[in-house]
Structures are given as structure tokens and as C-alpha cells.
Amino acid sequence: MARNKFDVDEELEQEFSWQDFKRLAHYITPYKRSITKVLVTILLANVAGMLAPLFIKIAIDTTIPQKRVTELLMLGVAFLVTLVIIGICMRYRIFKITEIGQDVLKDMRFDIFEHLQRLPFAYFDNRPHGKILIRVVNYINTLSDLLSNGLINLISDVFNVIITLIFMFAIDAKLTLYSLVLLPFLFLMVMFIKNRQRKAYQILSNKQSNMNAYIHESIAGIKITQSFAREKENMAIFQEVSNDYRSSWMKAVKIQFLMWPGVQNISVLTMCLIYFVGIRNIGVDVSTGTLIAFISYINNFWNPVINIGNFYNSLITATAYLERIFETMDEVPDIQDAPTAKQLPSIHGVVDFEHVTFRYEEGKNILSDVSFHIAEGQSIALVGPTGAGKTTIINLLSRFYDINEGSVKIDDYDVREVTLQSLRSQMGVMLQDTFIFSGTILENIQYGKLDATEEEVIAAAKIVRAHEFIKELKDGYQTVVEERGSTLSAGQRQLISFARALLADPKILILDEATSSIDTKTEELLQAGLAELLKGRTSFIIAHRLSTIKNSDRIFYVAGGRIAEAGTHDELMEEKGLYYHLYQSQYDLLQAI
């Protein structure tokens, strides 16, 4: 079976560094005041918890043998008070750390989403979208327990261990040392598990990413799947991807679950050792109350140690996901504002390409030494064979890519020296594959101008001839359309995009095969609307249907990375060159039909 992007494991370009946890701490810093309050309550609860075994020791060793009933009742009341304090502190702690953890996750998710908005087209072209989506949703969600509970609980458990050791050494130093004799075995076990667990979860994150990517691709392409009856083949591929994920999960959790029983066994062995040493009086002389109190303290000591071990487990597991999250955040946009970039003022629409050369890879020029001047308000048609560089010209003008040589200027401003926002906000781009968002038709048209009134939306729709079909829909402009406008025809989607562009009122308008999905009858109606849309704007039109561009001020025939021919329709027809033969071939085809 051929390998696809969705079932090829991603290689990490840069391995995770423990220094990167400083970046994680950066997200926690804004909540340090709330965290401090939580830590105070934790400290109070821990101290209260340490007093209970001490009360028991006093009761067994002193109060009960001497039959001090009043003192015993006071110890009981004090014990209940500690339980109430612990309960109140725990309730506050659970609520507050959950709130802090979710706020941190929200900030991280916002940052990665914001960064994705600035990444170039090439980043999304080279990766299955499911593998990008999983980083924003699933991988950040896996950090929920680590941030909501783990980090605060770690501090709590460290406090608990320290306070417990203080009480233990205060009661009996030798017995405390016996309690710690098996601790080195715990460190050896942690070192044994650490690297194996991290590697296992790196593999698991790859398999999870692969499965998510294939599910996303399958849903997006379900119409093609059913049209070609490929359901069985797709199920077989999914079964393979799913089995890979299951196997990786089982291997990862087998390693992860070694930690808890290991620490638990060391804890039990430690208690057995203390009983043995205490009863046999090996180097120590302890009372019954002291021995019982020590067993309680050992539980208080090893329970947080187990929790610290589990946190370390979660930390190692989380690194596999943090690596992917930070890798995405570290992706440097190829196209970004220069340090000295300035705002592009309101433009007139004069465009100059000066000796422009562009290539995606070294040695293979897409455009070679292209120069032209476009006056304000002119409409320019770009025609020519597929791959000649027509779309590249408008991509360079919109600065979706940077040129290798020469310059691209708008109103004498080099596009590389102005901010992207100020450049693109004055341009309107309509593509062949029109994207319609989930929501109403009104909201989709308002995407071009968010503060537009309904009257402005209707006026724009009337100009581009979209109003006629919209008013016939059940709810008119309030009709809710599904994701990608699946309930609309291709022509209707493009008419909505025309209205959206007109509402935005761009100074430069780009139509990239924007009328290809409109039938002949609709196109005839649209021509009048297009004339209004193009009026007073500099426009670039890419179209294989030459009837769409006959009235353009100038027509560029792009071939071999150059402007091979330029002129009006009539001028180029008189030359009887490349454009003439292209037009004649389309005319003959229409006549044959």
C-alpha cells in the first residue's frame, strides 16, 4: 500500500529541551497571585494533617494510660478541627487549581491558533490538516491534568514530604533514617523508566496524529469516496492506522504503569522494615504510640512520593506532546513584517513589477525578469497555459510569497516594506474554490466588512446578481448554510464571494478563475455586475473562459515565466500570435458543441 502523508510519522526537527519548561512557566506566571493563595491553603492543610498522628501518639503513650478523659476529649476535638481545616482547604484548592489550569490551557491554545493564522500557505500545503488540528485541540488537552492538578499537587506533595520529615526527625531521627533506606531504589527505577516512557509516547503521538489526519481527510473527501465506492478500501486503511495507534498505546501505558506498583512496593517494604526494626528494637527503642505514629507518617511520606512519581510520569508523557506544540509555535513564517515596516496609506492602485524573478526552488524560475506598469483603475487579464506563472503574479502582489529578485510596488511602495495587514486589507481576492463559513448568508457576505448593515449587504448582492437567488431561499439572507457552503451550488457560492468582495471595497481586486463555476446564463447576468465591481478599481483577472476577459483594458499572455504578449483583445487578435490561437481554439470548440 502506498504511503501517504497521514500515515508517515513526523520527524521532530528539534528535540525537546528541559529549558523549554521555562516557556510553559511563562503561561503560569500571570496567575502567580492565585497560585500563592492556593499554596498557602496547601501549607495550612499539610500542617493540619501532620498534627493528627502526633495527637494519636500522645493519646496512646500518655493520655489513655493515665486515664485523662478530659484531655482525650480535647485531643478528639482537636483531631476533628484538623479534619475540618483539611476539608475546607481541599475544596478551595480543587476549585482554584482547576480554574487556573483551564485558563493556562486557554492561553496556550489561543497562542498556537494565533500563530497558525500567520503561517504561510506552504505550511498548510505540506501537512495534512488533521495533523495541525490535533496540536491545537488534543495535544493541549493532554496537558490539562498536568497543569490543572499536577503542578500544584507537586508543590503540595513537596511541602508534605518536607513537613513530614521534620515531624519524623523531631520524634525519632534513627527510625526516620530507617524509613529512607529504600529511597535509592526509587531513583534507580525512575531512571530506568524515564527514557523508555518518553520514547514510547513520542511514537504514540505520531500514531495519534496519523489517525486524526486520516479521519479528517476521509470526512473531507466523503463525496469522492462514495462516488467511487471506495468505502472498503478506506476502512482497510483506517483499520491499519487504528491498529498502529492501539499497539503504540498499549506499549506506552505498559511502561507508564511500571511506576505506581514500583513505588507502592517500596512503600510497603519500608513499613515492613519499620515494624521489624521497631518490634525487635534494632538500634532503636520506641513506644507503641511512636511506632503507630511513624507508620502514619510513613504513609504521609510515601503517598506524596507516589504522587511525585506519577507527576514525573505525566511530565515525561507531556514532553512528547509539548515537543509538537512548541515545534508549531517555533515555525517561523516565511512572510512577515520587516522590522522597519510601515503602514501602507490608502492606495490608488498603481502597480509596478520591476525585473521580477521568482522561484520555489533553486534553478527553476517560475517568473524570469518580469516587468510591467499598471495604471490606477485598469483591469488586467492574465491568460496562458497551466503552470505558466499567472497565479504566481497575483501571489507576489498579495505578498503570499517574496520575490527573489527585483521589486513589486503599489503606488511606489515596495510591498516588502509595508505591513501585511495594511497591504492585504486594501486588496480583495476571489478564488475558484470559494470558501463559505458556517453561519447565515448575511454573515458570510459581512465577512468582507464586519460592521456593514443589512442594507449595505443587500445592495452589494444586487449589484453582483446574487440577490435574486438569495431572496428565493427559505429564510433569505438569514438562511443558515453548512460548513463550506455544501447546501449551495458552486455558482451560488461564487456569487456570494463577489458580494463579499464588493462590500469590502478593495482598491485592488483579484479574480482567480472566479467565474469558472458559473453557468453561461448566470455569467451573462453577472457581466453587468462585474462591470460595477471593477469600476474604479485596479483588477487582475485570471480566466480560461476568454469571454470573461474580452473587455479588459489589457491582456497579458503569460508563457515560459514571461509576459509573452500584451495588449487589448483587438490588438492581440490582429497580431495573430499565442492569444489569437488560444481564442480561436476556444471559439472552434464552442462552435463544435
Distance CA 190, CA 184 (A): 10
Residue 270 burial by Cβ neighbours in a 10 Å radius (0-12, 13-18, 19+): buried
CATH 3.40.50.300 segments of the chain: 343-426+543-593
Distance CA 406, CA 408 (A): 7
Distance CA 295, CA 301 (A): 10
343-426+543-593 folds as: Rossmann fold (3.40.50)
Distance CA 480, CA 540 (A): 32
Contact 197, 313 (CB under 8 A): yes
pLDDT at position 223 is 67
Distance CA 379, CA 538 (A): 6
Q: Which residues contact 197 (CB under 8 A, 6 or more apart)?
A: 252, 255, 256, 313, 316, 317
Residue 364 Cα distances to 354, 356, 389, angstroms: 20, 14, 12
Contact 436, 488 (CB under 8 A): yes
The SS3 of residue 339 is: coil
Nearest CA to 59 among 49, 50, 48, 70? 70
pLDDT at position 342 is 92
Residue 341 Cα distances to 346, 348, 419, 421, 472, angstroms: 16, 20, 6, 11, 47
Nearest CA to 460 among 434, 497, 513? 497
**Terminal Cα-to-Cα distance of the chain (whole angstroms):** 42
CATH 1.20.1560.10 segments of the chain: 22-329
pTM of the model: 0.62
The SS3 of residue 284 is: coil
Distance CA 428, CA 13 (A): 36
pLDDT at position 388 is 85
Which CATH architecture does the domain made up of 22-329 adopt? Up-down Bundle (1.20)
pLDDT at position 172 is 77
Distance CA 310, CA 151 (A): 11
pLDDT at position 3 is 45
pLDDT at position 540 is 92
Sheet with 538-542: list strands edge to edge.
Answer: 427-430, 508-512, 538-542, 379-383, 554-559, 562-567
pLDDT at position 380 is 92
The SS3 of residue 208 is: helix
pLDDT at position 410 is 94
Extract the residue ranges of the chain whose pLDDT is less than 50: 1-3, 13
pLDDT at position 474 is 86
Q: Residue 294 has which C-alpha cell?
A: 511513624
> Which long-range contacts does 160-165 make (Cβ < 8 Å, 24+ apart)?
160/46, 160/49, 160/300, 160/303, 160/304, 161/301, 161/304, 161/305, 161/308, 163/46, 163/47, 163/50, 164/50, 164/297, 164/300, 164/301, 164/304, 165/301
Distance CA 37, CA 13 (A): 40
